[in-house]
Structure 1
């Protein structure tokens, strides 16, 4: 027996259950108790409230059927519509409002069964949707605010089930969004790889270098307070230069048989145009013994002022032979169309040079016959 039925039956037992007016008051009290319970629980939805009300109405119908007389036995008749059977009114059963209420009439639409087979049964009455009445007197109160049976649990359970369904739905939504984002990232990475976004600068830059000239092996050590090679034009202002080569005195230049060295002049001034041969032979510039004596035991910076032939950028290589004072290692520079300064430094040992030295320049490291204009070669001593 569930809580609703038990509460109604307990209320009926405390009064005259045979009195229909009393029963109706109990039913109204049950509906009023239900409304109070629903109002105390604002989380209950309209659908659940309707189900709870219908459940009480079904229980009232079931209980009320126990107070109706049994249907009399019906003898076999011909196959025709049976007349309506009127049930006698229950004694002392006026309506709750004080008016007399006629007993319900039951229409039998099916042919009657033989008397031997027809069971004696009760007819369930149709109970109207009784509105609650909170001002009834003389009726035991019915408390449905916290039912302990499975009825209240069954009616409220759909809300909890719905919340559980929504709770389960949230992780599924999160998983779907995560998978979608991962797929989008994967597609983006695929297209980025296809379009070469992740290629390095070395892979993308296949053209000849256009950066300012630098020493390839990065062996130039700037003086204290300097952060890099000096700018063109600034070297002459900051240092005391010793002239090593000038185009006005090309006597100290040696060119192999397949190389060329010609003194020329244009708007940029006089220069010596050198061009290495197919064998990659270099043109040598003498460094006098007197110059080397000034550099012995000191840190010196050499400066080659040059530019490429018009429209033909090139790469030059520089080698040195200073006799007892050693060499400068091999240098390599990218030479462009503008007149520029190409610096390298040498730390000379503290010894006396026994002879003059040379600076050899290859005008085209790639052996394509490109020429370079040499305006000046000079050296200074670091303080």
Structure 2
């Protein structure tokens, strides 16, 4: 009720509180606010509703009494005191003081009670002539338990019309929370898997999945280093500790190497549509000049590999060596791949052919022990730039594994 009392008094301060009709409208607005607040809070108990209404009427009655007393005090006439007689008689008794009755102001409107009737006028003795109501309780009336009713506090039934209570939001269930967490973890897992699968955290070298192009080099088991040592029997203990030696283009290959091509075997070479071959005499001897006008398979040249050599390579790791140089004074990029039929094939290898005569070596490994009955082939492209340049091929050798 404190909220309604504050609202009523504030409304009286802002309005013409001397007008009875204005005060009646304010009281009626307070009653409507109480009814609206009880409906919003779901208070349907008849006893609780009646109790709240009674408390409001008691409050309105007390405020109206204050307002009327304030108005009566403002309009009461102030009479000058009369002369006091100093004469006294011995047989006269004491003269009682007579207080003139207070005449209510004509501006004060009659108080509108709970039922809308006008209260009865005051009698000469100052008492109001009206039927007594047993259920009317003044603000200072005491309850049977000794506590004034005006001091009663009931938090469960107190109405605050200006601040209606908001409905409680329903709490989420356990299953909805579990579902939210599952969706969150699934999204995080999908994002982590995407980052891992795309290689976003890898470096540029780790993301490069192309076949590396190692520089041409010779291993210790590929040659003996000189023609004299090639004819001598090998010592396993000495061979295990032998250091790699520089490969000599003329005498660097031992007898274990099988020569599958030399320039005079022009019949073992078949050029494709955009490739040209020709036998020339270079400064280092006779060579097969290969000119490629495209970087695809049409610019390649096929070099036959005998079937008996393929049988030596079956089920082993072998080494293939090509002795070549660029056809002009500039380095040129070449590629070499193989197709050995039923035995298998190998990935494409890229090399740089320099103006100096050198050897390009790469290793191939075949797990199948059964070799095909037809010859295989090596595919050589002399210019990956497709500009019509080429290389001079001197020989092709294969070292079968053990």
Higher Rg of the two aligned structures: 2
Relative contact order, higher structure (CA 8 A, sep 6+) = 1
TM class, shorter-length: 0.3 to 0.5
Task: Give TM-score, length-normalised by structure 1.
Answer: 0.40
